[in-house]
Amino acid sequence: MIDRDAYVEKVKATIDEWNAEIDKLQANAQKAQADAKIEYEKQLAEMRKQRDEAEAKMKQAQQASDAAWDDMSKGFQAAWENLSQSFQTAMNRFK
């Protein structure tokens, strides 16, 4: 079983990293030509969506009772891995 506090801290740290990446890419988007700017904005919107979903999952984990967390932890881990993968895919499009 995954420790809830460790899970929340891991998600918080990753969301902070994602926010930094989004900010950096937003700065690049502002410098880009018009066509590239549209693609940047599309990818940034996808990354923000993934970040927002991760924040929602983190809040659910924080608010869950201990018994509920026991039941939810495996589902949260699977959802987290999916979100992380989606975010990385979106971010890799900029590299």
Greater confidence (95 vs 15) lies with 15
Provide the domain count of the chain. Answer: 1
Check: pTM over 0.75? Answer yes or no.
no
- Could you report the per-residue pLDDT of 21-70, keeping only the tens digit for each? 888 888 887 777 777 778 778 888 888 888 888 888 888 888 888 777 77
Q: At what angle do helices 34-63 and 66-92 cross, to 10 degrees?
A: 170
B/e letters for 22-53, b = 16+ CB within 10 Å, e = fewer, are beebeeebeeeeeeeeeebeebbebbbebbeb
- Residue 13, pLDDT > 80, answer yes
Query: Which pLDDT band holds residue 94 (cuts at 50, 70, 90)?
Result: low
71 is in which domain, residue-wise? 4-92
Q: Cβ(18)–Cβ(52) under 8 Å?
A: no
